[in-house]
A and B are shown apart, each in its own frame.
Chain A
Amino acid sequence: MSIDPARRATRPGPSDESTEIFLRFQVGEVFYAIRAAGVHNVLPIDVRPIPEKIAKNGVLYPTVDPRSLFRIGDLPTEGRSHQTDERRMILLSAGNRLTALIVDRVFDRLRIDIRRFQPIPWHFGGREQLWFEGVACLDPHRCLVLLRPQGLLASSGPSSLGRSEPRHAELKPGDPTGSGPAALQGEPGS
C-alpha cells in the first residue's frame, strides 16, 4: 500500500468516510495512536506502584503497561521527575473489554485518513503482529504506530488465556476494532 504524501494529518474537523480521530501518545521513543472513539478518560497517575486495576466511576479497568510488554525498561520510580509527571493512564474500551493503558505522555487528537496506515513490515512476525495494527508516516522521519488494544490485552496477564486474536488485521475505515482477515504486506516503492 503506498502512501499519498498529499494527505496530511489534521486537527479534528469535518470528517469523511475514510478519516477517523486518533489519540496520539508516546511510550519510550515511539509515537503511538489509538482510536479516540474507544477512549473514556485520560488520567494522571497519582498512585505508585501502579495497581493491577484502576477504579473509575465504579468501573474497574485492568492496567496494561506497554513499557513492560515491549521490554523497553521502566522510568525511574524513585521521586518525581518531568518524565514521571507526564505519565498518564488512558481508560478505554477495546472490543468488549476495558483497560487502563499506561503511557509516558499524551499529546493530542488527530484526524487521520485511515488509508495512510499500512501494515507493519512483514518481518515483524512475533507478538508485535498482535500489538500493532499499522504504521503511518506523518512527517519525513517519524512514524506513528497504531496500537491494537485488544492485542495488548491478549498478550498481558492471565485474563487473556484461552482467547484468540487474529495474527493480522485489515485496516478498514470506520472499523473501531481493527480486526479482520490477513492484510497485505507492504513493500517500499511498491
Chain B
Amino acid sequence: MSAIRSEPPAFVERRQFLTFRLGGRTRGLDSTRIVRVAEIHHVTPLPSDLRCNLGLVTHRGVVAGLMDLELLEAQSTAPQIALAENRATSTAKGSPEDAAETPNTARSLDRRGVPEGPFFCIFARFPGGVAGFAIDELLQLRTVSMSEDNSGDPAEPAKAAEALPFEIVELDTLQIFQ
C-alpha cells in the first residue's frame, strides 16, 4: 500500500496583491510595497542616462520619480544588453525607431515612451527608495495563500507562482544601476 501524503504544508502565508494590467500582462504587486496609487496628469521628462527613468511627477505637492517598470525588468534580466542600449541609443528616446519599440500598452505615450495625459501610477517601495511606475489599468486587490512546503523541493515556490492568475512584480530583484 502506497503512502498517501495528507499532512498540510508546513506554512501557509496569506499575501495581498494589487493586480493591474501592464503591457498586455496581468501583474500583481505585494500590497505591503505600495505607498499609494494616484492618477497622474503630467510628467516632467527629466533627462537621465538610464532609459528606465521617465521623469518627475507631482502628487499632492510632492515630487517623485517615474520609472518604466517593463524597461527596468528587461534591464534587470539582461543588464549587459540594457546597459549597451542606455549608452548607444539614449538618443533614440526621441527617435521613430524608439517609438516602434514601445511596449504593448494602453497608455498614451509620447515619442520617448513617456505617458501622456491622465494615467494611473503606483508608488512603491523599491530597494533604493520610493518611485512610481505607470500602469495601463488598475484591477483589484487579491488575497492569495502562498504555501511554503518543507519537502525540500526547490521547484515548489515556482510552481505556486505559476498557479497564480497574475505575474508577481519582484521589486527586490530589479537592478536600476548596473
Contact = CB atoms under 8 A, between A and B. Distances in A.
A, B: real partners: yes
A128 B63 contact: no
B176 interface: yes
A124 B53 contact: yes
A136 B58 CA distance: 10
Q: How large is the interface on A (under 10, 10 to 19, 20 to 34, 35 or more residues)?
A: 35 or more
Given A28-B45, A73-B94, A187-B129, A135 B63 contact: yes
Interface residues of B, number: 35
A123 B129 contact: yes
A84 to B, nearest CB: 18
Contacts of A80: none
A58 interface: no
A37 interface: no
A132 B46 contact: yes
Interface of A: 2-3, 5, 28-31, 69-73, 118, 120-128, 131-132, 135-137, 140-143, 145, 185-190
B63 A72 contact: no
29 contacts: A2-B62, A30-B44, A30-B46, A30-B47, A71-B93, A72-B47, A72-B93, A118-B63, A120-B65, A121-B131, A123-B129, A125-B50, A125-B177, A126-B49, A126-B50, A128-B48, A128-B49, A131-B47, A137-B63, A141-B42, A141-B58, A142-B44, A143-B58, A145-B44, A187-B35, A187-B129, A187-B130, A188-B132, A189-B36
Given A29-B45, A72-B94, A131-B47, A124 B65 contact: yes
Contact of B58 (A125, A137, A186, A190): A137
B8 interface: no
Contacts of A188: 35-36, 59, 62-64, 123, 130, 132
Contact of B64 (A31, A70, A121): A121
Interface of B: 35-36, 41-42, 44-50, 52-53, 56, 58-59, 61-65, 67, 90-91, 93-94, 123, 126, 128-132, 176-177
Nearest to A127: B49
Given A123-B126, A127-B49, A143 B56 contact: yes
A76 to B, nearest CB: 14
A3 B64 contact: no
A122 B90 contact: no
A123 B131 contact: yes
A123 B53 CA distance: 7
Nearest to B40: A141
Of A73, A137, A185, most B-chain CB atoms within 10 Å = A137
A123 B128 contact: yes
B54 to A, nearest CB: 10
Contacts of A29: 44-45
A189 B128 CA distance: 16
A105 to B, nearest CB: 16
Given A72-B94, A188-B130, A121 B42 contact: no
A80 B90 CA distance: 28
Contacts of A3: 61-63
B56 A135 contact: yes
Contacts of A70: 47
